[in-house]
C-alpha cells in the first residue's frame, strides 16, 4: 500500500500493526530490499505493509526524521515501536516482525508515558 500524507493517519489509526518502508526509486538498497519486503507482506496478510516514496512524500519523511533509506518503521496501536535504516535480509525481517508482534503494548504505552512525563 502506498502511504501518502493524505492517507497516512487514516491507515495508522485504522490498523493496529503497520510496517512502513521508506524508499526512493533511485536507491539501490531500496530496490534490493523491495522483494524481501513484498515477500514478508505475502507471508503476513494480517498486517499492513505500507511504502512511503521519500521523494514524493517529503513531509512524511521529514516527520519521521528519515536521513537514510531504506528505513523500516513499525507502528503498533499508534505507537512507533521500531525505526531503523538499512535493508534487512528475510530472516532478520521475520524476526523483527515476530518481536513486534510479541510486544506487551500496555507496557510500551506505560514506558512512553513515563518518558513524556520525565521531559
Residues with active-site annotation = 27, 30
Task: Provide the grid cell at 67.
Answer: 536521513
70 prior amide bond cis, ω within 30: yes
Amino acid at each position: 500500500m502506498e502511504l501518502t500524507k493524505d492517507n497516512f493517519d487514516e491507515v495508522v489509526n485504522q490498523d493496529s500493526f503497520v510496517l512502513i518502508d521508506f524508499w526512493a526509486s533511485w536507491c539501490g538498497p531500496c530496490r534490493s530490499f523491495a522483494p524481501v519486503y513484498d515477500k514478508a507482506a505475502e507471508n503476513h496478510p494480517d498486517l499492513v505493509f505500507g511504502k512511503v516514496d521519500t521523494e514524493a512524500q517529503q513531509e512524511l519523511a521529514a516527520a519521521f526524521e528519515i536521513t537514510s533509506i531504506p528505513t523500516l518503521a513499525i507502528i503498533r496501536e499508534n505507537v512507533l515501536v521500531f525505526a531503523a535504516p538499512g535493508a534487512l535480509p528475510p530472516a532478520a525481517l521475520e524476526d523483527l516482525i515476530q518481536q513486534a508482534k510479541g510486544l506487551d503494548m500496555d507496557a510500551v504505552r506505560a514506558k512512553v508515558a513515563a518518558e513524556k512525563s520525565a521531559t
